[in-house]
Chains A and B, each alone.
Chain A
């Protein structure tokens, strides 16, 4: 090993340590600075739903709203997204395939503020004037549509979120489906299977791990979505839990954006606590996702 190589490797090692340090500081600083916030509020941070700065900071509603909107988005985006990915790979003619998949790829890079603008002007209008009155007339004030319809609420937020994560699920899902080896599908065709049977019995089971990964990428984006939801859901808690289509109130991420108003003592630390919750939730999702994908990969390789 020459001198140049020695310096090169040492430089890279030091650089790597510095890079690691930056990211340790990144998460560490948020967590350490949030500790006074957790001390201030105690367990009621997780068990109460009244976010009234600067006195009480119960985040239960925010945590639940995050989970509920993400669940709504997944209910829509998983079947439609995986169906569309299958359509792009196995149904769309070859000449159109590149066009459709590059449209989806570009849509995946549309920033969330654009979805926010679209949500405020189109979806909130649609939800407030058409969808919610219809739901109210169907359920007659019973669950899951109790109370008065409010255009700017969980329902509109869930719809916008589902549209936001669709391109991710489709794009990643399609690229996963492309990796299913052609020999296996051809073997199934040779045995006389119809196209839909091949897709259901051969391709989807084989691609399940990767498709789970695609869905979890979408889930991570939905859980952490800030700006689009901040424009639609508005400011933090209303004290009412979001187990209702007409519920209002922000999510963990959107409330950080809407409720920041300066470095005043408990309020700023409490927003950092919301950030810590967000780190925990998205990290867990990612860990579970990677675990599932790895397990599937081991089974099918």
Chain B
């Protein structure tokens, strides 16, 4: 058995190669660290403006949060009284009316539409499905244009109901798609168990599939409603204007987003500053809807799993 003795030259070469490997590892580690910190930086850079929006809205809008702001109607400031801005009662009620009517119109239609998309599987239905997905990405101003054309063609008077129609058309594809997806997630086993018991499609849908898919459909409808609350462009042209509170869907109303839009162009600084407060109110409502949808979804999926 021979002992390998390293010559000086060999030892040098070995040290050199080890050094190369170590340096290579070092370089890769540094490179990894650099690119990971770029990625982390990207997250911070992305969150900063978003933080700025929330912070500004709460900080400036927060000053307005007293009861009278919600109970008073809007006032028009004059040169003598430039700070006379009033409250948001008329806009808040207007938003509620528009969205409530839109929900009543769109949720049943959307759910039935989703069921129909689920029950049939032919070329026409497949086209409908992909068409609904592309409609989701359409700019919302188109819905505003559509109801404008309706109003112009049929000589309809402006009012909350036209805004509701625009928002309902916007919401139907959203509700239909979540219904379709929710029904698709119902375990096949349950469906087959129902069919084996001799259930007809209708009672299967009513007794088994819809109750099980409720955990997807309801949050989806809530999210659609929360999107409708914040939409300006579809309702901007057709709801008219009204500085008094009206609960009548056929009267002219004002909506929070449209009031913000018109107030941003005001000559009075107090009116412009009030936009933050109205934005805070709208955002809070949307946040509550979002949280409700998320927690209902989490609760129902735990319920199904447990």
Residues of A within 8 A of B (CB): 1-2, 4-5, 8-9, 12-13, 15-16, 19-20, 22-23, 26, 29-30, 33, 79-84, 86-88, 90-92, 100, 102-107, 109-118, 120-122, 163, 166-167, 170, 194-197, 199-200, 217, 220-221, 223-227, 230-231, 253, 256-257, 260, 263, 268, 271-272, 275, 278-279, 282-283, 285-287, 290
Contacts and interface: CB of A to CB of B under 8 A. Distances in A.
24 contacts: A16-B120, A16-B124, A16-B125, A19-B176, A29-B149, A29-B150, A30-B142, A80-B46, A81-B42, A87-B40, A87-B43, A90-B39, A91-B39, A106-B290, A109-B223, A109-B227, A109-B290, A110-B230, A117-B279, A220-B137, A227-B233, A275-B141, A275-B145, A286-B134
B43 A272 contact: no
Query: Looking at chain B's contact residues, is the secondary structure mostly helix, strand, loop, or mixed?
Result: helix
Contact of A116 (B135, B141, B261): B261
B49 interface: yes
Interface of B: 28-29, 31-36, 38-43, 45-47, 49-50, 52-53, 56-57, 109, 112-113, 115-117, 119-120, 124-125, 128, 130-131, 133-135, 137-142, 144-146, 148-150, 152-153, 169, 172, 176, 200-203, 205, 223, 226-227, 229-233, 236-237, 257, 260-261, 264-265, 272, 275-276, 279, 282-283, 286-287, 290, 294
B138 to A, nearest CB: 6
Contacts of A256: 141, 144-145
Nearest to A83: B42
Contacts of A4: 200, 202-203
Contacts of B41: 83
A22 to B, nearest CB: 7
A196 B33 CA distance: 8
Query: Looking at chain A's contact residues, is the secondary structure mostly helix, strand, loop, or mixed?
Result: helix
Given A8-B201, A112-B232, A118-B57, 19 more contacts: A12-B115, A12-B120, A19-B176, A26-B142, A88-B43, A111-B227, A111-B282, A113-B261, A114-B230, A120-B264, A166-B50, A194-B29, A221-B137, A227-B232, A231-B264, A257-B233, A282-B137, A283-B134, A290-B134
Contact of A23 (B29, B131, B145, B205): B131
Contact of A80 (B28, B42, B203, B236): B42
Nearest to A7: B202
Which 6 pairs between the two chains have the least Cβ-Cβ distance? A224-B139, A111-B230, A83-B42, A194-B32, A87-B43, A196-B32
Contact of B31 (A105, A170, A196, A253): A196
A91 B264 contact: no
Contact of A110 (B38, B45, B286): B286
Given A120-B264, A166-B46, A278-B141, A12 B116 contact: yes
Given A227-B257, A278-B139, A109 B47 contact: no
A268 to B, nearest CB: 7
Contacts of A196: 31-36
Nearest to A195: B32
Contact of B275 (A117, A194, A199, A257): A117
Nearest to B273: A121
Given A114-B53, A224-B140, A272-B149, A92 B43 contact: yes
B140 to A, nearest CB: 7
A107 B272 CA distance: 23
A117 B286 contact: no
Contacts of B227: 109, 111
A117 B153 CA distance: 34
Nearest to A16: B116
A80 B47 CA distance: 10
A196 B190 CA distance: 44
